[in-house]
Amino acid sequence: MNINFSNIKQKSSDFITDFREYWTKPPKGNYISYKEIGAYSLGGIGKMLIGMLAGYLTLSATNTLIGSVIGLSPVHIQLMNIVLGFLNAVFTIIRGMIVDNTRTRWGRFRPYIALMGIPMVFLTTIFVFLPFDSMRSYNIKLMWTFLFAVSLSFISPFFNDTYTELRTVMSPNTQERSMLIAVSSIIASAAPTITNMFVPILVEKMGTYTSIAAYRAIFVPLGIVGLFFTLFTAFGTKERVFVSKQYKPKIRTLHAMGQIYRNKYWWIRTIATWTAFLEGGITSLFMWIFIYHIQNYTLYAAVMTINGAASGIAMFITPYIIKKIGPRNLMIFQNLLNIVFISLMSIFFKIPAFFFMFNFISLFVYEFSLVGDPVIHSEVKDYSHYQSGRRMDFLFGTAGIIGLPLTTLTGIVIPLIYESAGLTNNYDILFDPAVRNSMFATLCIVSVIGSAINLVPYLFYDLSETKHRNIIKVLRLRNMFEDYIGNDLSPRDIKLCVEEIREAREYIVMEKIDTAGYIQKLKEAKLPPALSDEQKKIKKEAVKAARHELSEAKNINLNIDSAQLVIEELVKYESGQDAEKLALARQTLEWGFDGIKNLDKSILEEAKNSPKDNDDQKHLRNFKIRRARLLLSLKKSIVKDKLQEINTSELEAAYCLPETTKEEINLKLKAVSAARKILNKYSLAAEAYMAAQALIKDAEAYGKLAEIEARYDEACRDVDEQDRLDKEKRDAAKKAKQDDLERIRREKRERRDAKKGGKA
């Protein structure tokens, strides 16, 4: 085999050049620079370390610290987990309201990432230093464990989930998201790889995993290191959400949950999550084989390090697989492979060498979902944003409360399997091969069943990458109009959006291409046998040309579909349900508070009698019913509470105040705080009236398209000038750095020459 070293050298040189070029500025068409990817990835190391500490307080029957060390029964652990599940329902609502209504100049998520890791490390460290050995009462151990688990359960999502959600808003591009998730996961996996290498060896010196002294030795240093790394993400990343600069998050929890429930893709992903409870049945087998069978922690460290390599390799190739087959097909592929290799583990778990081999491959396959599922989650949120017009993040978790009864019931399945095998609070029975092998066989079987069930929901997921890209285009257009009215539209935004609109107008008049002829041509190009080298070359070129023609035809059809969606968005207020909503909004403002005061229940009856023969009519009917109820509620506030209309534009002006200096920032914070108090009270009562005002304002903005297009040439000149200035600035910085390096080299040479001259 001939290796082209010159080609390898050239590619390496190109990579280094690109890395330097795009260290602080992303490539054209992308959103994230290499520096920002690095900052997010290093923060992932901190998140992994702190998350590992929090994992030791998880109320799970497989938790060695709580079960084996402290000595709590698996069923009691699960019962506490059930109670915690109901408490978490309340916690989730509170967190959703707090985070999704957060607006700071640092973004929605980064402040929580910077701060909330501190109480997590504090709680986990204090827990392992509690004197469990001197606690004579089993109930006292239960009480302290439950108290700390509840506290951590409330706090940890402010840290863990904000880090996870941050990657969904750093870029709207599916490929870039998958690359960010993969790269950050590979780098962040350094944390468990290193800890899995050294912690077992440390534990062996301190005792065993059944000794609390081992946990006390590792918690403090891991917590401090974890907090340090999270600062990279908190201060080195940026949130990019396609919302108007005028957008102020004010989300009603119940209304937001209703909008999420109308998102079919949310249901698909959520059902897949609900059906995954059996798939994790084998989670504890790997550690238990070492603790209760092999009892060699040095070997355990080595095997864990090897398993870490599976994670890194899988993370590296997953973005390329997603690019080829998409996230939906990746999840289906992953579950199919999982069924195969867990089945093999169930056959060979009595032979450690074979078990570890198939476990390695199973872990490798599982890592696909750690990239694929977050990508799908991001797309689901974007679709919800497109549907509802509101950006929701944490409230997706709140909506998941609907599955609490189901997850409560399914959560008891694995502990019941433990109980049926005789495992209560005496984990020492796992030293008995007969007990251990029987339980392991059962857990492997239920995991195979879980993988098969988990595969089914993804068969119905049809949010393709093309459809998602079109949704992002529409969101960008909506923001363009809103920001133009608010005088916040940048020249770059004008250039990008106008070019997309012009491209859509070109494709909308085209007819779709029938690709059947191109497919047939490709088949024919593959048919002739290639005997000689010349024939092989001709056939290869013919196949390549046919594939290119087919790809071009498919791209034209995709662009026609995209153009249809863009043009429909531009004219949405001219006909259809959006036009009817606009007419209702105008009617609301014509009534004013005086007219609303005279409304009666007939407006609700009329709304309920609206037609509902198709999806559009059903959606409009639901809109009318909700509007009628809100207007009747507003009537009560006007009559009973003497509510009066306010000029919200004057209050909203507080959000547009400058914040370039410390004094301006303090002034703006005070103004925003005062405005928020007034607006919150008014918006709760006058939601329908304010929604009507916003809709009319939005429709007026769409009428400004001609004005926006007239600024295109000027915007192009501004963008070119800004790019030129940025390039000059980068070149100047690069030259200054090179001059500094040359100066340092020159000074070194002078000192070296002077030293030689002195010796002479």
**Each residue's pLDDT tens digit, 489-537:** 788 888 888 888 898 898 888 888 888 888 888 888 887 776 677 777 8
Q: Are the beta carbons of 517 and 579 closer than 8 angstroms?
A: no
- Rounded distance between C-alpha atoms, residue 177 and residue 167, angstroms: 7
Locate tokens 């994992």: which residue?
A: 55
Q: What is the CATH number that goes with domain 5-467?
A: 1.20.1250.20
Would the CA dihedral through 515, 517, 520, 526 be positive or negative?
negative
- Rounded distance between C-alpha atoms, residue 262 and residue 258, angstroms: 7
Which tokens go with 193?
């790889």
Provide the pLDDT for residue 86.
Answer: 81
- Phi, psi of 325, rounded to the nearest 5 degrees: -120, -10
Locate tokens 């890194």: which residue?
A: 312
If you average pLDDT over every residue of the chain, what do you get? 79
- Rounded distance between C-alpha atoms, residue 635 and residue 626, angstroms: 14
Provide the pLDDT for residue 245.
Answer: 47
User: What percentage of residues in the chain have a pLDDT greater than 90?
Assistant: 3
Cα separations in angstroms, 101 against 98, 540, 676, 759: 6, 57, 11, 72
- Phi, psi of 389, rounded to the nearest 5 degrees: 80, 5
Would the CA dihedral through 238, 241, 246, 249 be positive or negative?
negative
Sequence-ordered list of residues with C-beta below 8 angstroms from that of 430, at least 6 positions apart, any chain: 288, 291, 292, 423, 436, 439
Please tell me the total number of residues recorded for the chain in this structure: 760
In this structure, which amino acid lies at residue 636? K
The whole-model pTM stands at 0.65
The one-character DSSP state at 70 is S
**Each residue's pLDDT tens digit, 402-435:** 877 777 777 677 777 777 766 666 667 767 777 7
Sequence-ordered list of residues with C-beta below 8 angstroms from that of 334, at least 6 positions apart, any chain: 365, 366, 368, 369, 372
Provide the pLDDT for residue 156.
Answer: 85
**Each residue's pLDDT tens digit, 154-169:** 888 888 888 888 877 7
Provide the pLDDT for residue 583.
Answer: 92
649 has pLDDT over 70: no
> What's the pLDDT band for 584 if we cut at 50, 70, 90?
very high
> What's the pLDDT band for 17 if we cut at 50, 70, 90?
low
Provide the pLDDT for residue 158.
Answer: 86
Tell me the average pLDDT across 239-255: 57
Q: Are the beta carbons of 492 and 717 closer than 8 angstroms?
A: no
**Each residue's pLDDT tens digit, 599-647:** 888 999 999 999 888 888 888 898 899 889 989 988 888 888 788 877 7
The phi-psi region of residue 461 (left if phi > 0; otherwise alpha if psi is between -120 and 50; otherwise beta) is beta
Provide the pLDDT for residue 1.
Answer: 41
What is the SS3 assignment for 471-498? HHHHHHHHHHHHHHHCCCCCHHHHHHHH
- Rounded distance between C-alpha atoms, residue 47 and residue 230, angstroms: 7
> What's the pLDDT band for 587 if we cut at 50, 70, 90?
very high
Locate tokens 């502990």: which residue?
A: 415
243 has pLDDT over 70: no
Would the CA dihedral through 289, 292, 296, 300 be positive or negative?
positive
Provide the pLDDT for residue 18.
Answer: 63
The H or E element spanning position 417 is helix 413-420
- Rounded distance between C-alpha atoms, residue 229 and residue 112, angstroms: 14
Which tokens go with 102?
């957060």
**Each residue's pLDDT tens digit, 680-720:** 677 777 888 888 888 898 888 888 889 889 999 998 999 88
**Each residue's pLDDT tens digit, 253-287:** 667 777 788 888 889 988 888 877 777 666 666 66
- Rounded distance between C-alpha atoms, residue 560 and residue 754, angstroms: 73
Report the SS3 class of residue 420.
helix
> What's the pLDDT band for 222 if we cut at 50, 70, 90?
confident
